[in-house]
Structure 1
Amino acid sequence: MILLWRHLLRLILAAFSLLIFCEFLIYYFIALPCSWPQLPRGDWGRDAPGGGESAPLRAMFLSDTHLLGNRLGHWFDKLRREWQMQRAFQTAMTLANPDVVFILGDLTDEGKWASDQEFGETVERFNNMFKVGENIEFHVVVGNHDIGFHESVTKIKLERFQEMFDIPPVKILTIKDNVFVLVNSMAMHGDGCFMCSPAMDKLRWASERLNCTRYGSPSGRANEKETVKARCQKYKTLPNVRPILLQHFPLYRPDETPCTGPDAPTLNQQRKKNTERFDVISKKASQQLLSWIQPRMILSGHAHHGCYVVHPGGVPELSVPSFSWRNRNNPSLILATISKEHFEYSKCFIPQETSVITIYVFFISLIVVWFVLSIVRNWGRNFKKYR
């Protein structure tokens, strides 16, 4: 009997060790090789003399967390995927310690249907899962699952998201002499809807403010009258650097054939034509953003897979894949080192769901076989002893 309890104790310890590895330690093993990318030689490093503003910005980007509400998915599905995201994110925060974190939309999966109470509860869970230190900035953009596609957005759903996360239709951020423009993709339809008109006004404001910094005139034309140029006096001067555009929808691209790599879409998905205002924003809105904002880099989400494309004028766009196991087997996040002149990034994968399941199945089978053999061997010894 004592031997039986000893075997049971070993079984429990083995199972507990397996649980600790698969639910905690594996995230560190996978994340440790990932590091901040280096800037080209000649650009300041983080340990540059003087530090502070001269040091580059370290930014973390992730997207499409899709926290479930009360309608879709099983409770275990919800628990499993949210635990995975929380552990992966908090591990990355511990190891990477970024200056700022950006989440590129679709924070929730059911925000477009949720009541105010449901939405508030989901946001509370989101804030607990993606908690950051007081010295780290945290910003989000709105996604279609947070408020709905353009046709289903209501004033209530839009305003509650904007109030919860302090994110107007267009927002300019300045962090360590780098400029970011955050845009509501669903408001880029240009049809004069209740949210589109204010968004276009804010986009013009952002363009004017950027032009005043770049050219000294709100339209970017040098031959404007002094009375027009005087409008620039009402804007606070921004760092004279090309901005980085952040939004949920990618800019227009006809299909996903440029997407390559371990997190690229399947061949069938690559060949499928993208639908404007559903898979990507429209051609017109894309041209408008490129012309008015003149970004040096664009980051987006929505596609759930990774993609790197270059738009007219040589402007690169990086689509950040979903961070949730619910949408893909190999989620990832982006670590970017940013200076006034450069944007260098690394893609950091988190544990694959299939790998974790395989580890569980293999070692549970091993533990069970070991336990059964130990019991059989013990019974055999007792049988010989008392025969």
Structure 2
Amino acid sequence: MALLRWGLGRQNVHRSNRVLLLKLTVIIISVLLLCEYFIYYLVIFRCRWPEVKTLAHGDSQEPVLKAMFLADTHLLGEIRGHWLDKLRREWQMERAFQTALWLLQPEVVFILGDIFDEGKWSTPQAWVDDVQRFQKMFRHGSHVQLKVVIGNHDIGFHYQMSKYRIKRFEEVFSSERLFSWKGVNFVMVNSVAMEGDGCSICSEAEAELREISRKLNCSREQVQGSSQCEGEQRLPFSAPVLLQHYPLYRASDANCSGEDAAPPEERNVPFKEKYDVLSQEASQKLLWWLQPRLVLSGHTHSACEVLHPGGVLEVSVPSFSWRNRNNPSFIMGSLTSRDYALSKCYLPFEDRVLTTYGAAVSFLVLLVLAHFERLPSSLLSGWKRWRMHTRR
């Protein structure tokens, strides 16, 4: 009888262990799906395109362009990138981007530089590998246009950049500097080349910007009836949106605020010209040449809004990577040829995700401990009787 009771108890324990294993499996899979997949839908679903004033043209309304702006993805390379860190960060950015495309349906996406973390160092093969990973993560349908601005980590700072690095970047992401769609003009600047020291790359970049300035001026003169630009292919009559990696000159982030601004201990640290921000001279040139109505930039990894002379608003877009921020975000813009409206879409907070994982682990531990405390005592006593019986 002792052996029979022990055998029945053992069957009950096996059955109980199987139930426990099933519970653990369901909980682990559910938490993983929530934290690594569904959370992006739950968070980004709350984002909405901002409303912008539109003018009527006959029987139709002025078209509105829906644009997403993000910055500083910093895809890790083969030198500084640990495989686990790369796997985690790239999965996060891929899920966030793909979810945003599906839920928000933007028409154009701009990435404001520092696509890669090691573009200034990477070998030809490493560059090809990094580009393939980027194209997988930021894949998009033909109905969405993806435009990329050069950053210092893509080609190096001024003393590191070369025509070779710029060329290989532009072979993948295009050398387009002026982009117009739905009556909205965008100017994409290689701000690394705005050093102002007369280097060949800098001189070519400035000459290109002066030519863009001339075309924009011709679009303005078109409305005034001037014949100075006769035969010129006219751009839409619209003040441009300036897109670049470095921010225009500002002394520091002291006047920046918000939950995704720089930490309080960093806001009063003075910015270094030509390193943290453009020089005052380069900033004045861009504002004078292009006369933008809006400026968007990256580089600082934190949010800021600055009003420049003439009432030109500059928005610094925070980093899109959880490696740089606990709370990444991107900007959603509704733009017409005359007006614009911006809103911010926050991504999941990393500390909340980690807290969820921690709570799940604690619950699993308690579940396992409670299970073993409920094991039938008859199993142990039956085992002892059976052992004594076999020794006789």
Q: TM-score, normalised by structure 2?
A: 0.90
Per the alignment, in what secondary structure is the counterpart of residue 374 of structure 2?
helix
| CA shift for structure 1 position 381 | 7.0
Report Cα offsets for 1:337-383 as digits up to 9, x if no partner: 11122211111110111111110011111022112212321344755
Return the letter of the residue paired with 2:196: G
| CA shift for structure 1 position 167 | 2.3
CA RMSD, 1 decimal: 2.1
How many aligned residue pairs are there?
A: 370
Deviates more, 1:356-365 or 1:369-378: 369-378
Is 1:141–1:167's contact at 8 Å kept on the other side of the alignment?
no
- Structure 1 stretches of 4+ with a deviation exceeding 6 A read 384-387
Are residues 1:153 and 2:166 paired? no
Measure, in 2, the Cα distance between the counterparts of 1:379 and 1:149.
69
Q: Cα–Cα, structure 1 residues 2 and 265, in superposed 2: closer, same or farther, change >3 Å?
A: same
Q: TM-score, normalised by structure 1?
A: 0.91
Report Cα offsets for 1:52-93 as digits up to 9, x if no partner: xx3300000100000000111321111111111011111111
| CA shift for structure 1 position 267 | 2.2
User: What residue number does 2:293 align with?
Assistant: 296
Report Cα offsets for 1:224-270 as digits up to 9, x if no partner: xx7xx2xx245311110111000000000111112110001122211
Q: Cα–Cα, structure 1 residues 251 and 381, in superposed 2: closer, same or farther, change >3 Å?
A: farther
Is 1:4–1:375's contact at 8 Å kept on the other side of the alignment?
no
Return the index of the structure with the highest Cα Rg. Answer: 2
Tell me the percent identity.
46
User: What residue number does 1:198 align with?
Assistant: 204
Is 1:297–1:316's contact at 8 Å kept on the other side of the alignment?
yes
Q: Cα–Cα, structure 1 residues 381 and 97, in superposed 2: closer, same or farther, change >3 Å?
A: farther
Alignment of 1:102-121 (within 5 A): 102-121=110-129
Q: 1:187 aligns with which of 189, 193, 198?
A: 193
Q: 1:376 aligns with which of 368, 373, 377?
A: 373
Q: 1:23 aligns with which of 24, 28, 36?
A: 36
Are residues 1:340 and 2:337 paired? yes
Q: Cα–Cα, structure 1 residues 122 and 313, in superposed 2: closer, same or farther, change >3 Å?
A: same
Is 1:64–1:323's contact at 8 Å kept on the other side of the alignment?
yes
User: What residue number does 1:137 align with?
Assistant: 145
Measure, in 2, the Cα distance between the counterparts of 1:58 and 1:72.
36
Q: 1:83 aligns with which of 77, 81, 91?
A: 91
User: What residue number does 1:70 align with?
Assistant: 78
Are residues 1:270 and 2:283 paired? no
Unaligned 5+ residue runs, structure 2? Answer: 1-13, 386-392
Is 1:298–1:317's contact at 8 Å kept on the other side of the alignment?
yes
Is 2:195–2:202's contact at 8 Å kept on the other side of the alignment?
yes
Are residues 1:212 and 2:218 paired? yes
Measure, in 2, the Cα distance between the counterparts of 1:95 and 1:70.
33
Return the letter of the residue paired with 1:331: P
Is 2:182–2:337's contact at 8 Å kept on the other side of the alignment?
no
Measure, in 2, the Cα distance between the counterparts of 1:199 and 1:4.
69
Unaligned 5+ residue runs, structure 1? Answer: none
Q: 2:26 aligns with which of 13, 18, 29?
A: 13
Per the alignment, in what secondary structure is the counterpart of residue 126 of structure 2?
helix
Is 1:141–1:184's contact at 8 Å kept on the other side of the alignment?
yes
Deviates more, 1:111-120 or 1:188-197: 188-197
Per the alignment, in what secondary structure is the counterpart of residue 265 of structure 1?
coil
Are residues 1:123 and 2:140 paired? no
